[in-house]
Amino acid sequence: MDLDTRLTEAAPARRLPLDGPDSPAAVRLYQQITAEPPSARRSRRRRLAVPALIGVAAAAVAAAVALALVPGSPARHGGSQGGGATLAAWSVIKEKHGLLRVTIRELRDPVGLRQALREAGVPANVRFLNHNFTPTTSTRDLPKGCLNPRMSNEANAKLQGKIMPMNPLPLGGVAVNIRPSAIRHGIGLYVKAWAASPGTRSGAYLSLQIDLVQATPQCTG
Partner 1 sequence: MAGADLDRDQAELRFRELYRANFRPVQGYAVNRLGAADDVPDVVAEVFTIAWRRLADVPPPPADRFWLYGTARRVIARRYRSASRLRNLLGRLAAERYPMQLPPAGAIDPVTEHMLAALAELKATDREALLLVHWEQLSYAEAAQVLGCSANAVGIRVHKAKARMRALLGEEPGGGRRVAVIGPNGATDGS
**Total count of residues recorded for the chain:** 221
Q: Which stretch binds partner 1 (CB under 8 A): 45-53, 91-99, 118-126, 181-189?
A: 45-53
Given the complex with partner 1, which of 30 and 121 has the nearer CB atom? 30
Please report, to the nearest 10 degrees, the dihedral formed by the alpha carbons of residues 90, 177, 175, 64 taken in order.
120
- Return the closest-CA partner of residue 164 out of 25, 2, 5, 56: 56
Applying the rule CB under 8 A, the residues between 145 and 204 that interact with partner 1 are none
3-class DSSP state for residue 34? helix
- Return the closest-CA partner of residue 107 out of 125, 92, 94, 126: 126
Q: At residue 110, what is the residue type?
A: P
In angstroms, what is the minimal distance from the CB of 32 to partner 1?
A: 8
Site membership for partner 1, residue 55 (CB under 8 A) = yes
In angstroms, what is the minimal distance from the CB of 166 to partner 1?
A: 12
Contact code string over 6-35 relative to partner 1, x by CB under 8 A: xxxxxxxx-xx-xxxx---xx--xx-xxx-
Distance CA 130, CA 132 (A): 7
Contact residues toward partner 1 (CB under 8 A) are: 3-4, 6-13, 15-16, 18-21, 25-26, 29-30, 32-34, 36-44, 46, 48, 50-53, 55-60, 134, 136, 138
